[in-house]
Amino acid sequence: MSVLELKNISKRYGAIQALDNVSLAIQPGEVVGLMGDNGAGKSTLVKVIAGNFAPTSGDIFISDQKMVFHKPRDAQKAGIEVVYQDLAICNNMSAASNVFLGREPTRKIGPLRIVDYAFMRSRSAELFARLKSETRPRDLVHKMSGGQRQAVAIARTLLSDAKIVLMDEPTAAISVRQVAEVLSLIRQLSDHGIAVVLISHRMPDVFEVADKVVVLRRGELVADKMASDSSPEEVTGLITGAIEKA
């Protein structure tokens, strides 16, 4: 059973064919490297999956059930979480507050609903432990390394029992040591049966962590194969068009 299946997804903006008949199946716990040049349709595909816009044609299945997303909230309810490139993190707040941003748990005291910090801390400590990250719930985010910040953003996706996590260029602007940290976070997600779609320009990162590589070129899916059967050279050829299809 695939956790996510796309069947003949197309997306048009007027005369521009951003996605052309893209079909793709992702298994639970699978790490998929989604690659392509600028304008190849990567972000359009991600936005279709995340419910930001509806495809012009084609169907989306989550765990073999057909889904129609009208807004990002619908996709979120179906178990799709997005880690944004800028991580959507508030530097002035603690790690725990950031994990629960926008969905702070409360408990009732008389007529008041007060934020339940104890629960936020213990729950986020659990999530960080699951991610094998050393991030501490009470720490302010602005003192954290890039890897720890990623852990905060990823822990947020675990809060809601995500089935699929979409990550947009998580390793673009961080140091080598932190990249290793982020890749290990991705492996942790995968070990917990959560599929990860990794959008990245960094070939070595993708091959280090991905089970499968998917290449888009001018809106068309030109490769969908196991990473072990492919190579950075082949993928580069596919991205640029030197290799037609694989």
Partner 1 sequence: MANPTLADVINRSQHHGLIARITNQQIFWVFLAAVFACLALTILTDSFATERNLFNVTRNFAFVGIVALGMTAVIASGGIDLSVGSTLVISAMTVSVLMSAGMPFWVGCLAALSVSLLVGAVNGVLIAYAKMPSFVVTLGMLSIARSLAMVLSDNKMIYEFGPDHDFLLWLGGGATFGLPHPLIILIILACLTAFAFRHLRWGQHLFAIGGNENAAVLTGIPVARVKVSVYMFSALMAGIAGVLEVGWLGGVTTNLGQAMELTVIAAAVIGGANLAGGGGTAFGAVVGALLIEVIRNSLILLGISTFWQGTFVGSFIVVAVAFDRFRQRKT
Q: Which residue's CB is nearer to partner 1, number 47 or number 217?
A: 47
Q: Which residue's CB is nearer to partner 1, number 148 or number 190?
A: 148
Q: How far is the CB of 165 from partner 1 (least distance, A)?
A: 15
Q: What's the chain's length in residues? A: 246
Region 47-76 residues binding partner 1, contact defined as CB under 8 A: 73
> Position of tokens 């992702």?
26
Size of the site for partner 1 (CB under 8 A): 33
The stretch among 9-17, 81-89, 160-168, 195-203 that binds partner 1 (CB under 8 A) is 81-89
Q: How far is the CB of 77 from partner 1 (least distance, A)?
A: 12
Q: How far is the CB of 52 from partner 1 (least distance, A)?
A: 11
**Distance between CA atoms of residues 11 and 207, nearest Å:** 28
Q: Which residue's CB is nearer to partner 1, number 36 or number 137?
A: 137
Q: How far is the CB of 45 from partner 1 (least distance, A)?
A: 19
Q: Which residue's CB is nearer to partner 1, number 70 or number 138?
A: 138
240 counts as binding partner 1 under rule CB under 8 A? no
Q: How far is the CB of 169 from partner 1 (least distance, A)?
A: 16
The stretch among 26-34, 36-44, 82-90, 182-190 that binds partner 1 (CB under 8 A) is 82-90
**Distance between CA atoms of residues 86 and 204, nearest Å:** 21
Q: What is the 3-state secondary structure (H, E, C) of the chain?
A: CCCEEEEEEEEEECCEEEEEEEEEEECCCCEEEEEECCCCCHHHHHHHHCCCCCCCEEEEEECCEEECCCCHHHHHHCCEEEECCCCCCCCCCEHHHHHCCCCCCEEEECCEEEECHHHHHHHHHHHHHHCCCCCCCCCEHHHCCHHHHHHHHHHHHHCCCCCEEEEECCCCCCCHHHHHHHHHHHHHHHHCCCEEEEECCCHHHHHHHCCEEEEEECCEEEEEEEHHHCCHHHHHHHHHCCCCCC
Region 84-143 residues binding partner 1, contact defined as CB under 8 A: 84, 86-93, 97, 101-104, 106, 112-115, 121-122, 125-126, 128-129, 136-140, 143
Question: Which residues make up the interface to partner 1 (CB under 8 A)?
Answer: 73, 84, 86-93, 97, 101-104, 106, 112-115, 121-122, 125-126, 128-129, 136-140, 143, 156
